[in-house]
Structure 1
């Protein structure tokens, strides 16, 4: 049962058959597990890397997309529970940061599983969110937004046939982003580590600093050179920072 769940929801990288810790990566809106392929072998042999595989893309293309944060977080949490036998750290970029936070809340408050840490990247804190109604606009507006942010293979957007294949997933993700509004700053029992590019057009250092309000157990912010997808060019620095935190996991 566990293997079937893991193979459906997570791409698993590295570590031995008995890892001592796990890192779950939750991709951004319009993103997929393949974007984080290089992260799979970037950590030590004791760490198993899980990258979430959202429905409606790649080898889950035939499955209906999920367009509500609550539903996606519930599904991710349920799939993750059998894999919480070792210390778990969560990392989410952009939309994935909100999803990582919601997953951490569910693990802790519903299942008494406290993650070792939450790493959030390029996303406003839950109580500072200012959702946009981009998901209510036409396809061209969505495509323009995705192109502007980066993080999606441009060849998928240039080819009309491929674009039609990926648009439902993109629209579902931006529906999640557009309907996940400001909410109370419910605190977590684990430390929170935040990251942002110094030239991000929509997320400021102050926006990321507000994550401290949900992190009574500890908070740190790191600003790296780059825009919303600073983590492409600064991957090694970001991975190094996450690795240093993982080293402290039990």
Structure 2
């Protein structure tokens, strides 16, 4: 495929073998580059497609999305431009919810993904896990509440330029999380893995175990150290957990 045909939703890190393409969807406020370190951990035979939602990363000039249905619809269209059809969907926090929704829609269309990996993500029907803040007035009222909950770094309140750039993006993503209403579906026939973190108060063990009911075979559960953003706090531990998860999720599809 000509690289010019690739959707702007993706930064592509090609494989060196016949493995699946790992489609990595970031957390609220994040962009695909948050996952670049996974190249050192994900099996080299697997490609990496790092997702930028509109308003993020390479799509920074595009309007933000506030609705998970719009995000899933856009991502499904973008997937058609990838040079692979064997996919493992990987999502962190908000990304986990979007990965599940996309996996469900692919399954309903008769093309289920090879696997699904959710990291630091509550099962969709278990709620937010924190008081809602997306409805607060934009700017300092929203950012202060987000910082107090650990959803944004304290520096957001100290660096006006950073706050202006990041605040609207985070608020749109959190609105997407708060508004998501999963449809009732049969359990997905997809190999899945659920990764949780020991110090993540937003996604405690019951919210992780609740994913079990969404698949026709119990997902593999992995736990590692760190808080909600363990991918930055504990990069090696996070990467090794993702490596094991991708191996599990794709083992039936990879020679």
TM-score of the superposition, structure 1-length normalised? 0.87
CA contact (8 A) 2:55 2:169 kept: yes
Offset from partner CA, 1:69-112 (integer Å, 9 cap, x none):
000000001110343744210111100000000111111113x1
| Cα separation, 2, equivalents of 1:149 and 1:49 | 31
Q: Where does the alignment leave 5 or more consecutive residues of structure 1 unmatched?
A: none
The match for 2:127 is 129
Q: Hey, which of these two has a bigger chunk of helix by percent?
A: 1
| Cα separation, 2, equivalents of 1:103 and 1:2 | 25
| 2:89 aligned with 1:90 | yes
Residue 64 of structure 1: SS of its match in structure 2?
coil
How many residue pairs end up in the alignment? 248
| 2:236 aligned with 1:238 | no
CA contact (8 A) 1:189 1:216 kept: yes
Once the two structures are superposed, the pairs formed by residues 218-237 of structure 1 within 5 Å of their partners are: 218-232=218-232, 233=234, 234-237=237-240
The match for 1:115 is 113
Change (3 A) 1:85 1:230: closer
Residue 8 of structure 1: SS of its match in structure 2?
coil
CA contact (8 A) 1:30 1:146 kept: no
1:156 CA displacement: 6.0
Structure scoring higher RCO (CA < 8 A, sep ≥ 6) equals: 2
CA contact (8 A) 2:67 2:179 kept: yes
The match for 1:67 is 66
| Cα separation, 2, equivalents of 1:36 and 1:146 | 22
CA contact (8 A) 1:15 1:47 kept: yes
Q: Where does the alignment leave 5 or more consecutive residues of structure 2 unmatched?
A: none
CA contact (8 A) 1:191 1:219 kept: yes
CA contact (8 A) 1:130 1:182 kept: no
| Cα separation, 2, equivalents of 1:190 and 1:83 | 20
| Cα separation, 2, equivalents of 1:46 and 1:125 | 30
Residue 239 of structure 1: SS of its match in structure 2?
helix
Offset from partner CA, 1:39-70 (integer Å, 9 cap, x none):
13433332110110111133322111111000
| Cα separation, 1, equivalents of 2:157 and 2:13 | 28
TM-score of the superposition, structure 2-length normalised? 0.85
Residue 135 of structure 1: SS of its match in structure 2?
coil
The match for 1:192 is 192
Change (3 A) 1:152 1:128: closer
Aligned CA RMSD, in angstroms, stands at 2.6
CA contact (8 A) 2:117 2:246 kept: no
| Cα separation, 1, equivalents of 2:174 and 2:33 | 19
